[in-house]
Amino acid sequence: MTENEHPRKSAVMLHGPDRAAARAMLHAIGFSREDLERPIIGVGHAWIETMPCNWNHRALAERVKAGIRAAGGTPMEFNTIAVSDGVSMGTEGMKASLVSREVIADSIELVARGHSFDGLVLIVGCDKTIPAAAMALCRMDLPGLVLYGGTIAPGRLRERDDLTVQDVFEAIGAFNAGKIDDKELRAVEEAACPGAGACGGQYTANTMSGALEFLGLSPAGANGVPALHADKAGVAEAAGRLAVKLVADDVRPRSIVTREALENAIAYFSATGGSTNAVLHLLAIAAEAEVPLDIEDFHAICARTPIMADLRPGGRFVATDIHRAGGLAVLMQRLLSLGLLHGEARNVEGRSLAEVAAAAHETPGQEVFRPADHPVRSHGGIAILRGNLAPGGCVIKLAGHDKTTHRGPARVFDSENLAFAGVREGKVQAGDVVVIRYEGPVGGPGMQEMLSVTAALAGAGLDDSVALVTDGRFSGATHGFMVAHVVPEAALGGPLAALRDGDIVRIDVAAREMSVELPEAEIAARLGGWQPPQPRYRTGAFAKYAASVASASEGAITRPAAVRTT
């Protein structure tokens, strides 16, 4: 296809006598007239000095830019924000995490539209930067790709060589339970995170980085290369070259993010026991691509897709082990052999998923990916439940345990901080159902993660004997019998708002039900006397988010009030 058939966006901004002033501004920072005649490729990243997850983005951007120049394009680097879940966990700052997904996507859109980029390479790291980049690409349908900065290496401490930040959170719980002293806690703290890269288990960042390979928005194998691996620079250069080709061939993200590609990404998520946040993020990406997708699709795909990867938080291995085992193409082979993937779906390289799988080189003796006939578990990583506590749906995490039912008295907390204090003070007992409400998209706002609470339960030895229910969400490092994303949320008058301490809550995976053992009339009477809580924020970004966010069952996307359905 010639340029005349799909004229470059940048020409409107930079070509012709009328655009001399725009060119003059760019000459001031080193761009030549010849540079501005070439395709302009935005190189976006989220370098920030608040976390290790994005610490290598500037260095990777230089290699991406070199690849763009080598392929005949002109790179223009820009940045966006990031909020670290791991650093902000358990504080008010955690509310900003999911909100940042929308801000990141919006900021990428604004820069790309504002400066008429022809294409994009988006370098991502910490959790929300990954779906945000995919959302922005699909929203604009601009040629481009997403490159993950890579996973952190595991920490080493004495006989262990697989430490992650999960171990630090659980060590905090053990310390508060009196099981370890402050010296041991500090030793874990100082060993767990040895350098640049995103959190090292199959937590949200690594879950979503792999999802983008299965979805097709990232080159095959690129995201799996760890952050500090010697091959990462070459991967970045190749991404830059590929972006120029995508512009030349006018390959658009929406031609890649099809229904079949989304189903492939969900199957991968299920097979790796990945973070429940993937439900929110894949729903949001689908919405931006205008592809119908529903939480029931997750249930159906996860019900038929076994867990094939033995990964933390519930398993043995960390993300760097995936790379050593031969990469995600090995998992593609397994899932294709079971008839669980659409092999014809294509990625940004133009390769089909079946072609990527056929080229896999599995490391002999690896144990990360199980044989197709011997999965870790026969079911997938999550299920969707409903019932009188979640008529609009909720997500239960099934990876890392075999439990399928729980019945017990509710211990109700109106915030994550109150729940954490309750666990620390011994208010939660074996058999309880810990309920954390008013932490949904509107009520939080921002659906903060509950890792501090779940880790405290683990540290206290209660993770196998209690259930946890919330209208917020869970970290990818969470494990145990945990239900999140409850819809409708308590702040909007959902049934969680009617719960009281001691009410008996029943969770039954086989029946796909989460309910309280109360007559419907009693629930209605309680809600009839319920008053919504005052908004926690009346101005600023949080207030704007709460006013425009949809439910968790719709991916907690934001949109104008005129098109909101919840």
Per residue in 54-83, pLDDT (tens digit) is 999 999 999 999 999 999 999 999 999 999
Q: Check residue 3 and give its pLDDT.
A: 42
For 504, list phi and psi in degrees, rounded to 5: -90, 120
Q: Examine the pLDDT at 4 and tell me if it is beyond 50.
A: no
CA–CA distance, 553 with 560 (Å, rounded to integer): 17
Q: Check residue 29 and give its pLDDT.
A: 98
Q: Which two tokens stand for residue 396?
A: 């239960």
102-137 pLDDT per residue, tens? 999 999 999 999 999 999 999 999 999 999 999 999
Q: Examine the pLDDT at 94 and tell me if it is beyond 80.
A: yes
18-30 pLDDT per residue, tens? 999 999 999 999 9
Average pLDDT over residues 159-188: 94
Q: Examine the pLDDT at 449 and tell me if it is beyond 60.
A: yes
467-480 pLDDT per residue, tens? 999 999 988 777 78
Average pLDDT over residues 210-217: 98
| 565 — pLDDT class (breaks 50, 70, 90) | low
134-149 pLDDT per residue, tens? 999 999 999 999 999 9
Structural domains in the chain, CATH included, are 38-153+195-358 (no CATH), 156-194 (no CATH), 382-533 (3.50.30.80)
| 1 — pLDDT class (breaks 50, 70, 90) | very low
Q: Check residue 454 and give its pLDDT.
A: 86
| 266 — pLDDT class (breaks 50, 70, 90) | very high
The residues annotated with a catalytic role in the active site are 475
Q: What are the C-alpha distances in Å from 388 to residues 271, 507, 513, 514?
A: 30, 11, 8, 7
Average of per-residue pLDDT values in the chain: 95
CB 310 within 8 A of CB 368: yes
378-392 pLDDT per residue, tens? 999 999 999 999 999
Q: What are the C-alpha distances in Å from 152 to residues 160, 162, 206, 278, 437?
A: 16, 11, 10, 20, 33
Alpha-helix residue ranges (DSSP H) falling in 92-181: 96-114, 129-140, 165-176
Range of weakest confidence among 22-26, 110-114, 170-174, 273-277: 170-174
pTM: 0.96
Distance of alpha carbon 338 from its chain centroid, rounded? 26
Q: Examine the pLDDT at 512 and tell me if it is beyond 70.
A: yes
CB 232 within 8 A of CB 186: no
| 546 — pLDDT class (breaks 50, 70, 90) | very high
302: left (phi over 0), alpha (psi -120 to 50) or beta: alpha
Range of weakest confidence among 118-122, 238-242, 287-291, 400-404: 400-404
Cα dihedral angle (97, 243, 261, 291), rounded to 10 degrees?
70
